[in-house]
Amino acid sequence: MMIVSEEELSKYLGKRLDDLEGKVSFIILRKLRQYQEGMANLNLSVIDYLFIEHHKNNKSLNQLRKELNISIHTLSKIFDVYNLPMLDIKESTKRAISELWKNPAYRVYKIKQIKEFRGTKEAREKYSEFSKNLWLDPKMREKMVIGLRKSMKIKGQEPELREKRSKKQLELWSNPEYREKQTKLIIDSMGKVWQNPEFREKKSKQAKEWSSRLWQTEEYRSKMSEVGRRVLTNSWGDPNFRNKMLHKLLTQNYLSLHTVYGYRGDLGFPTWSTWEANLARILIYCGRLFESRKILELKVDEKYENIFQGKKIDVIIDFLVVDNRENIYLYEILVKSFKKQEGMAKLEMILEQYPNLDLRIINQSYYERLERWFKDKINSDSRFIGWETYKDNLKTNPEKYSKSK
């Protein structure tokens, strides 16, 4: 790589050493003349030699000044006297290293040296500190982000590279020790990050917007529905799986629900109970996309024709929810009516006819866990009026809970 083009080279050559008289010391001038006498066979003045070495052969000023046994300040002054362009130290060093790396022996030596050093604790701490300092600089951070995005956009399109990365990751994650270590690192890292309310709110908002955009497209909804249906249909074909699911539902803790129907101001829609209202607040807090009072149409199975009138019935489910990974869930608060034959028949038909929808039952113990985890968070979040309880709810305090936020 050259400082100037080959065509412009001639205008910088032909400099005479005598032009330096009176501009540098006698000792320096004598050194330069002695050096020129030693290169008489090149038919070049020492000034032209210095320029060509710096210009075409990428020698830094520091390397040249060592050859002449003069200071770098004096050498810079000589270049200035003749108006010769110079590389700055950073660019000169970069070009000098590039030249060195063209030597195979040097390259093998340096790679070995770097690998050995990177394995040390000192190296890890050094690189970590260097990386942190870089990311503290807003301009550098922006530059690095742009570079990474550009690199991933270009390289990510190469099928060979994608296949290579995929194969490497599969090999790594097949190792139990690696999998356990990485899982722990991810959990610890995310646990610390999610303690930050601003980060949690930001990610919650992003997830809701992202999920909403995806589910607005018919193509995406159809695709996810078909994938989920295919996977769960295969599972439902297994008698052991089907019996396990029904047994789990039959053995749930049933409850007498504290029904308080009405419009909640902070939610913007009516709910049928305090539990349903609190569950809606949790979904909003977590940034989930959901639909309340979802109506599912069921085809009545032959074995249940003596229970239901007609070939089709409608079942209202409390919530249909989409998580950040586009998984679809049905949340149903379990009440005593489901323990009856009619209720259990409905549950079995839902599981059979909507295998792409993961049914989650909210029983007493499940709700208590949710309350322990989310009650204080809901009460401290300015978006909500508060967590409804048996003594403090829409019925006992209508002015508080019906008021819009």
Identify the band that residue 226 occupies on the pLDDT scale cut at 50, 70 and 90: low
Greater model confidence, 20 or 378: 378
Comparing 232 with 177, which gets the higher pLDDT?
177
Q: What per-residue confidence (pLDDT) applies to 256?
A: 45
Q: Which residue has the higher pLDDT, 369 or 233?
A: 369
**pLDDT given at position 282:** 93
How many Cβ atoms sit within 10 Å of the Cβ of residue 123?
A: 13
User: Strand runs (DSSP E) across 300-375, as ranges?
Assistant: 312-322, 328-333, 358-362
Phi, psi of 309, rounded to the nearest 5 degrees: -95, 130
Which residues does 90 contact at the CB level (< 8 Å), separation at least 6? none
Residue 280, CB half-sphere, CA atoms under 13 Å: how many?
25
User: Which residues have CB under 8 Å from 50's CB, separation 6+?
Assistant: 64, 75, 78, 79
Altogether, the residues listed in the chain come to a count of 405
Residue type, 142: E
Token pair of 310 as six digits:
């007609």
Residue 359: strand, helix, or coil? strand
Burial class (CB in 10 A: 0-12, 13-18, 19+), 13: middle
pLDDT at 1: 44
Question: Where does the pLDDT of residue 156 fall: very low under 50, low under 70, confident under 90, or very high at 90 and above?
Answer: very low
* Least confident interval from 79-83, 247-251, 327-331, 374-378: 247-251
Phi, psi angles (nearest 5°) of residue 269: -155, 160
Three-class DSSP category at 334: coil
Q: What is the mean pLDDT of residues 173-199?
A: 77
Q: What are the sequence ranges of the domains in the chain?
A: 6-100, 158-193, 230-402
Distances (CA, A) of 235 to 40, 80, 86, 259, 340: 89, 81, 72, 36, 26
More confident: 45 or 124: 45
Q: Which two tokens stand for residue 293?
A: 């009072």
Q: How confident is the model at residue 88 (pLDDT cuts 50, 70, 90)?
A: low
Check: CATH 3.40.50 for 230-402? no
Q: Are 306 and 312 in contact (CB under 8 A)?
A: no
CA distance 225 to 232: 11
| Sequential DSSP letters for 64-100 | HHHHHT--HHHHHHHHHHTT-----HHHHHHHHHHHH
Predicted confidence (pLDDT) per residue in 33-79, tens digit? 888 887 767 677 888 888 878 777 777 777 788 888 888 788 888 88
